[in-house]
Structure formats: structure tokens, C-alpha cells
């Protein structure tokens, strides 16, 4: 590369020297005939006076050849060195990022190599030099734009932060980035040691920073979690590599495998800052460490267990969940919300919230209680001291230690306050259930929750705590269940026209719906087709599918006589309640999600 570049520079200098006199003398030759007639009419003393030089043009004097403007040559030399450096960098960078090396190097090398010297040497400099700059800058800009879209923010070049850092480094400024220690390199992630005393945590963090390479790799892993919107990572250690899986919007996605050597160092460091035993690769260990990145504060739960092939590590990240304010933001239809609110404004009864494990029950419960009239009625309840659920405003919760006491211990004092609404995230036992059912039958509205796949199942699960069927049937008033499914990415979703057979199968009248949507699928052969928003997944974020059962007298009779899923499903349907599948189809028709995703979510 340097040899070719040197030949280019020599060619430019020679071309400028050789073509300069021809270009300039041509100007001089054209002026000679015009000056002949005035010279003949003038005195001999003035005949030898040279013709005036055109304004702004440097013309060689007689006997003067080969003039090269040193300023122009210096400007081209600076551009030339920039081109050599950037083309060499592109050659190396494409290899690291696994981009088409021949294509990008050729695009940045050949145009400048073949044409830049001609623009500078054969065309007036003030016209040719901008073209030479364009031959250099346009291909470089195309490559930078492509590679910056594929890397993490801290690895991007020619951005405002990158240019500021380079200028500061060259000028001797005191920018923070210039004074970084080795462990401070990489993304701006702050790792926080946890799991031990303050002094031990500080010592663990100090020792972790000594392994600067592994420290930066863990920071990059946290940044990757943030950029991918993942909340879990599964690392399966094999003999030579580590298989990576990312849990994004409720679905596992395979990632690129990592090498075993660097992954071992990362695991040692993560165990160290989580106050675990890095040398133990067989026993089951659990711990936590913290990480802050781009205004997000993460708590990472790390679990490791030895397996025959090596070790299996699960990293669970919490703390960057999107904050929702209403059930509508969670995905509930306005009409359904009206029915739910009507049940939540009742003077008495039992209202049950439910969802699958890790299905958003905490969010559903909090938003549901938040949608009630807490400023008009008095809300009170019991909460475990070990609970990590978010606080609900205007709800007077009394904490109790489940290891030392039960709910019925505090129920008498709680009821003496005469609240209008009782809030129990969980009902612990049959004794507490009996008291709450008695209150729910005539005096109080009781809110509770449980883990269940559907609204009817939630009713049976709460009754199984120890309720007498007749008393429970009288008290129960409504049950709301939620399933989470993925939202279609609004940037890359693809419309299609459903067939009449498909609409008939979905129960949609012909002509009612013209267009449905499905997830966009990038071309594996074309990296440019990958959506920059969802990363080629086709989905971005999650939305709730809701099933609401409003209990009527027919349902109560079935609950007392035949408390089975099939019987209660039929009774709920006869009462006019929509099924989960019907609500999901409405979401698909509105373009929020796809039929494929509805099917996946309902099969779980």
C-alpha cells in the first residue's frame, strides 16, 4: 500500500511539473497575436514591454519552466496521507467486523488512485482539488455509515464524541476519555460489586479492575444487553466455545458463540464482583452485581451450575423495564377497560388478577389497582416484608414477616380501620381466605392475584387455597387474566391480504378486513435489509392479551356444582365473555401483532 501510494505522489508531482508549462504557455501563446498590432504602432522602446498577465493567473516568465505551487502540493500531500491511513484502516476494520473486504477496499482505493492526481495536475487547482476531496470522502463516508450501524455506540467513528476525543488527544486537552485507565476503556458501563460487606465489595471491585481485559468484556456484555433489549442471557460452556442465548421480549434467540478462553475470564470476574467463588466450577452458586449504563440501573442475578461439558450460567437483568401508566398502554382495549373498571368500582366482591409466571402479573396488579378510585375510597391491605413489588400510591399496606407471623395475625387490626377496599397480592391460607370471603360477600371489595394461564383457572386456584365452594361462589365477582405477546415492529412489518378461507377460520366476516400484518424477514444475503430498530427480529416490545370473566349467577351455579375448567369455560362463554383467542385476533386485526405470534403466545 505504501509503495503504490508513493508512486501516486511522484506521478502527481511529475504531472504537475510537466503539464504546468504547457497549460500556462498556451495562455501566453493566445495573447501574442493580439499584442502584435499595438506593438507595431508604438515606439520601439515600448515594443518589448510584456503583455499584461491575466488577473489571478500565475504565468511563467520567458525561460521559466516547471513551477509548482508549494502550498497546493502540501494540501494534496495532506489529503494523500489521510487517504493512505483511512484505506489501511478500512482493510483492517472489515476483517474484524467480517464485512466484504474486497468490495470496501476497492471502493475506497481505486477511484482516488486513478483520478485524484488527474484532477489536481490537469485541472486548475481550485476546481480539481474539491473533486479529489470528494473521491476520498464519499467512499469513506459510505463505509463509516455502514459500519457504525453495526457496532455499539462507543465503537463508532467520526461521531461528535469521537471527533471531540481525537481533537482533545491531539491538542493535549484534559478530556476524561484521554486519561482512561485500561479498565475504563470500552462502553461507559459502571460495574458495582454486591453480595458482601461494603469493604469486601470495594476490594472485590478493585481486584476485578486489575483484569482490565475481562473487565471491559463484561462491560461490553452489559452494553449488548442494553442495545438488544434482552433481560436474560444463557451461557452454555462447552469444550472449545460458549453458546450464547438472549431472552428478548419473552423469546430466546441464539447469538454468536464466544471463545472459551475469554468467556472463562469474564465468568471469573462476574463471580468475583458478585461475591461468589470463582474457582468453584461445579457447585450451584447464586449472587448479584450491579451495572449502570445510559441512565439505566441494572441489577444482575447470576446463577451458575457445573454440567458435564463445563458450566451453565444464567444472567438475569432487571431495572430497565419500560414504565407503564395505564392498562391501555399495556394493550387493553377501551371497551374492555370500561367493563373492567365497572367491576373494580363495585362496593363488594372478590376481583382476581392473574398471569403466567414471568408474565407481567406484578405490572398488571399495580396498573389495575392504579385504575381504581383510590382517592375516593379507603384502600388497605397486607404485604410481606420480603416483597419486592413496587409501591402503590394511596394504598395503606401493613407489612408482616411471613417467617414469624401470618396474615390472620394482622387482619383484626386492619379491619378495625374499616377500609372500603382490601388489597392482598396473595392470600396465604384458608383462615385468611374465610375472613376475606365473609367481607367480600357484603362489605368490602377484595383484590387478590395468582399465577394462572387463563381467567377461569385463576378462579379455581384461589378457591383451592381453602375456600368453601358455596361461600366462594357468592363472593367472587370477576377475574382478569393477561398473556404477553410481542408487538410487531412498526418499521419493518409486512402487510398482506388474507384469503377468504383464513378470515372464515378466524371468524371474521368476509370483507371486514382487507389487510393483516406479519413480521418482516430480512434477506440473509443482504445485511442492509436488517431492520435497524428491531435488529431483524420482526418484533419490538410486548403487549397484553386480556381475558376478562365477569361472574354471573349461571357461572356461580357451575362453580358450586362442577368446579372444573371445561364446565366453567362454557359458563363464561355463555355469559358473553370473550375468550383469550378472540381478544388476540382483535389485536392482530388492528395490526399490533401477527397471527403467528398470537398462536405462539397462546400455546405457552
pTM above 0.75, yes or no: no
User: What pLDDT, on a 0 to 100 scale, did the predictor assign at position 172?
Assistant: 62
Which of 38-47, 308-317, 399-408 is most confident?
308-317
What pLDDT was estimated at residue 492? 93
Mean pLDDT of 122-143: 87
Q: Which CATH architecture has domain 327-603?
A: 3-Layer(aba) Sandwich (3.40)
Residues 281-310: tens digit of each pLDDT: 999 999 999 999 998 999 999 999 999 888
CB atoms closer than 10 angstroms to residue 429:
12
DSSP bridge partners of 351: 447, 478
pLDDT, position 152: 64
d(CA 44, CA 46): 5
The pairing of strands 476-488 and 379-384 is unpaired
pLDDT in tens, 153-179: 667 888 887 887 777 767 665 555 445
Q: Do domains 184-318 and 327-603 have the same CATH topology?
A: no
pLDDT of residue 59: 47
Measured between alpha carbons, how far is 435 from 122 in angstroms, rounded to an integer?
Answer: 98
pLDDT at 549: 97
pLDDT of the residue at 113: 86
Q: Supply the pLDDT for residue 87.
A: 92
Confidence of residue 27 (pLDDT cuts 50, 70, 90): very low
Assign domain 184-318 to its CATH architecture.
2-Layer Sandwich (3.30)
- pLDDT digits 0-9 by tens, 534-579: 999 999 999 999 999 999 999 999 999 989 999 999 999 999 999 9
Average pLDDT across the chain, whole number: 86
For residue 68, the model assigns a pLDDT of 62
Q: How far apart are CA 524 and CA 99, in angstroms?
A: 14
Rounded mean pLDDT, 395-406: 90
Structural domain boundaries in the chain: 1-8+70-179, 184-318, 327-603
**Residue 243: φ, ψ to 5°:** -80, 135
pLDDT: which is higher, 327 or 161: 327
Assign 392 a pLDDT band (cuts: 50, 70, 90).
confident
Tell me the pLDDT tens digit for each residue of 488-518. 999 999 999 999 889 888 888 887 888 999 9
Residue 524 is predicted with a pLDDT of 78
Grid cell 394493550 is found at: 331
Let me know: does 243 contact 217? Beta carbons within 8 Å.
no
Where is 234: in which H helix or E strand?
strand 230-237
Angstrom distances, CA of residue 16 to CA of 19, 68, 111, 118: 5, 7, 19, 9
Amino acid at each position: 500500500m505504501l509503495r503504490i501510494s508513493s508512486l501516486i505522489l511522484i506521478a502527481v508531482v511529475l504531472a504537475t511539473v510537466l503539464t504546468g508549462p504547457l497549460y500556462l504557455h498556451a495562455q501566453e501563446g493566445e495573447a501574442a497575436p493580439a499584442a502584435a498590432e499595438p506593438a507595431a504602432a508604438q515606439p520601439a522602446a515600448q515594443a518589448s514591454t510584456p503583455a499584461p498577465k491575466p488577473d489571478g493567473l500565475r504565468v511563467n516568465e520567458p525561460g521559466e519552466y516547471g513551477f509548482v505551487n508549494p502550498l497546493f502540493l502540501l494540501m494534496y500531500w495532506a489529503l494523500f496521507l489521510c487517504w493512505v491511513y483511512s484505506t489501511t484502516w478500512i482493510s483492517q476494520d472489515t476483517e474484524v467486523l467480517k464485512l466484504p473486504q474486497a468490495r470496501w477496499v476497492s471502493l475506497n482505493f481505486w477511484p482516488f488512485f486513478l483520478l485524484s492526481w488527474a484532477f489536481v495536475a490537469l485541472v486548475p487547482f481550485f476546481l480539481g482539488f474539491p473533486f479529489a476531496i470528494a473521491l476520498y470522502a464519499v467512499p469513506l463516508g459510505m463505509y463509516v455509515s455502514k459500519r457504525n450501524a453495526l457496532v455499539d455506540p462507543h465503537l463508532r467513528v467520526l461521531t461528535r464524541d469521537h471527533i471531540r476525543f481525537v481533537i482533545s488527544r491531539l491538542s493535549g486537552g484534559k478530556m476524561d476519555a484521554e486519561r482512561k485507565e485500561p479498565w475504563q476503556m470500552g462502553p461507559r458501563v459502571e460495574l458495582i460489586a454486591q453480595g458482601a460487606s461494603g469493604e469486601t465489595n470495594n476490594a472485590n471491585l478493585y481486584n476485578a479492575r486489575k483484569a482490565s481485559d475481562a473487565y471491559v468484556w463484561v462491560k461490553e456484555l452489559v452494553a449488548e444487553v442494553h442495545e438488544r433489549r434482552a433481560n436474560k442471557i444463557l451461557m452454555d460452556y462447552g469444550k472449545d466455545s460458549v453458546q450464547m442465548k438472549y431472552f428478548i421480549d419473552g423469546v430466546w434467540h441464539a447469538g454468536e458463540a464466544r471463545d472459551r478462553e475469554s468467556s472463562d475470564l469474564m465468568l471469573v470476574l462476574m463471580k468475583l464482583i458478585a461475591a461468589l467463588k470463582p474457582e468453584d466450577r461445579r457447585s450451584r452458586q447464586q449472587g448479584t452485581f450491579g451495572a449502570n449504563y445510559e441512565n439505566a440501573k441494572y441489577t444482575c442475578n447470576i446463577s451458575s451450575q457445573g454440567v458435564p461439558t463445563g458450566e451453565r450460567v444464567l444472567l438475569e437483568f432487571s431495572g430497565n423495564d419500560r414504565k407503564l401508566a395505564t392498562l391501555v398502554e399495556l394493550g387493553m382495549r377501551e371497551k374492555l377497560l370500561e367493563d373492567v373498571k365497572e367491576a373494580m368500582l363495585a362496593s363488594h366482591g372478590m376481583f382476581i388478577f392473574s398471569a403466567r409466571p414471568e408474565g407481567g402479573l406484578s405490572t398488571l396488579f399495580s396498573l389495575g389497582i392504579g385504575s381504581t378510585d383510590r382517592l375516593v375510597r379507603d384502600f388497605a391491605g397486607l404485604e410481606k416484608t420480603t416483597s419486592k413489588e413496587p409501591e402503590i400510591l394511596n394504598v395503606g399496606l401493613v407489612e408482616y414477616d411471613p417467617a414469624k407471623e401470618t396474615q390472620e395475625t394482622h387482619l383484626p387490626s386492619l379491619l378495625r380501620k374499616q377500609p372500603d377496599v382490601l388489597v392482598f397480592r396473595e392470600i396465604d391460607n384458608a383462615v385468611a381466605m374465610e375472613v376475606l370471603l365473609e367481607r367480600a360477600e357484603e362489605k368490602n371489595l377484595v383484590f387478590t392475584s395468582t399465577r394462572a394461564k387463563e381467567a377461569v383457572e385463576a378462579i379455581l386456584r384461589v378457591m383451592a387455597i381453602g375456600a368453601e365452594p358455596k361461600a366462594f361462589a357468592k363472593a367472587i365477582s370477576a377475574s382478569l387474566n393477561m398473556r404477553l405477546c410481542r408487538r410487531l415492529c412498526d418499521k419493518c412489518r409486512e402487510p398482506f391480504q388474507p384469503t377468504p378461507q383464513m378470515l372464515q377460520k378466524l371468524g371474521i366476516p368476509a370483507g371486514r378486513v382487507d389487510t393483516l400484518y406479519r413480521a418482516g424477514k430480512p434477506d440473509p444475503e443482504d445485511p442492509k435489509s436488517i431492520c435497524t430498530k428491531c435488529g431483524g427480529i420482526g418484533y419490538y416490545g410486548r403487549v397484553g392479551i386480556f381475558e376478562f370473566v365477569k361472574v354471573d349467577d349461571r357461572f356461580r351455579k357451575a362453580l358450586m356444582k362442577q368446579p372444573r375448567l371445561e364446565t366453567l369455560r362454557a359458563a363464561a362463554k355463555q355469559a358473553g365473555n370473550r375468550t383469550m383467542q378472540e381478544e388476540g385476533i382483535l389485536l392482530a386485526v388492528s395490526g399490533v401483532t401477527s397471527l403467528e405470534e398470537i398462536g405462539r403466545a397462546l400455546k405457552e
